[in-house]
Amino acid sequence: MKIEVRKVEAVKATAAPPV
C-alpha cells in the first residue's frame, strides 16, 4: 500500500485592523 500524505494549513492569529 502507498502511504497518503496530506498537507496541513498554516495557523494564523490576527488582531483587528488598527483603524
Partner 1 sequence: MSGTTVPLRALTLVPEGDEVVVGDPETGTFVTVPAVGGVVISALRRGATTDEAAAEAEAFAGEPVDVPAFVQVLTELGFVDDRTGEEREAVRTAPIQFRRWMGGVSQRPARPFFGPVAWTVYAACALFSAGVFVVSPSLFPQPARDAFPLGDIGLSALLLAPFALASTALHECGHWLAACAAGVRSRFGIDRRMMLLVFETDLTQVWTVPRRQRYAPLLGGLAVDAVLLSLLLSGRLMVQAGLWTPPPTVDALLAVWVYVKLTGMLWQCMIFLRTDLYAVLVNALGCRDLWRVKSLMLRQAFGRLSPGQAAELARASAADRRAGRWFRWVWLAGFVGVLGWFAFFLLPVIVTVLQWTAAGLALGPLTGRFWYSLLCAALLLSPQTLAAALAVKEYARRFRQRA
Furthest-apart CA pair in the chain: how many Å?
Answer: 54
CB of 4 to partner 1, least distance (A): 6
- Considering only residues 1-19, where is the footprint of partner 1 by CB under 8 A? 1-19
CB of 1 to partner 1, least distance (A): 6
Cell of 15: 488582531
- Counting every residue written for the chain, the total comes to 19
Q: How far apart, in whole angstroms, are the C-alpha atoms of residue 19 and residue 13?
A: 18
CB of 14 to partner 1, least distance (A): 4
Binding site for partner 1 (CB under 8 A): 1-19
